[in-house]
Chains A and B, each alone.
Chain A
C-alpha cells in the first residue's frame, strides 16, 4: 500500500514568510509525528498526534510553529514568520501506536533565505 507522503518535497521561502508543510500518513495509522532534521544533528521531535487526543506540542521550538491534524488523517505543520534557523528537513512519520515501528515520509526540505 501507499506509504507516508509529504508535500512539497522542497520549499524555498524568504525570511518572514509563512509556510505550510503537509503530511499524508498511512491509512489506519493512529499516531503521527513531526520531526526536524538539521545538518549534523539527529531528529528533533516536534509534535505528536494520537487518535483524537490532544496533541503533545512539547517539542515545538517556538510559538511560530503549529500543527493540526484533520479528521485523524492529514496533518499540516505551519511555520509563521520563518527565520533562517528554521531551514532543515521536516519529516513526518506515522505508526499504529506507541512502540510500533514508525514509517517515515521522504521529508520536506525547507530553505529560508
Chain B
C-alpha cells in the first residue's frame, strides 16, 4: 500500500534563509509525486509535480523538488524564503489510479 511521510510537522525559519521540507513515500510501483500548498485561509493549490522525465521540478515562485527513486523521497527546497511563503505544504503520491495519498502536512513559518 502507498503511504506518504512528511517528517516535520512544523518548520520555523528566518526570512531569506534556505528551507527543506522532507517527504518520503512508500510504493512498490512507479509513482507520480505532487506538492500542494495551502496559504492561510485559502484552499489547497498545486505547487509542483513530477510525472516523468527530469527528476528536478520547479515552481514559478522559486521552490524546487527532486525525485529520488533510490531514497523514495521528494523533498521540497527553496534557497531563500519570504514571509509570503508561510503556509502548510502537503506532499502527495499517486500510482496511476484515481487515489492520491496525501501526507500529514508541514507548516512552514517564516519569521522576519
Contact = CB atoms under 8 A, between A and B. Distances in A.
A43 B97 CA distance: 17
Majority secondary structure of chain B interface residues (helix, strand, loop or mixed): strand
Q: Chain A interface mostly helix, strand, loop or mixed?
A: loop
Contacts of B42: 106
B102 A42 contact: yes
Interface string A38-67: 001111010010100000100100000000
Nearest to B99: A45
Contacts, number: 53
Contact of B100 (A40, A56, A102, A107): A102
A106 B43 CA distance: 4
A31 B98 contact: yes
A50 B98 contact: yes
A63 to B, nearest CB: 20
Contacts of A50: 98
A107 B9 CA distance: 21
B9 A40 contact: yes
Contact of B43 (A31, A45, A56, A91): A91
A85 interface: no
A41 B101 CA distance: 12
Given A41-B104, A42-B90, A42-B104, A101 B98 contact: no
Interface of B: 4, 6, 9, 32, 36, 42-46, 49, 51, 90, 92, 94, 96-105
Interface of A: 3-4, 31, 35, 40-43, 45, 48, 50, 56, 59, 91, 93, 98-99, 101-107
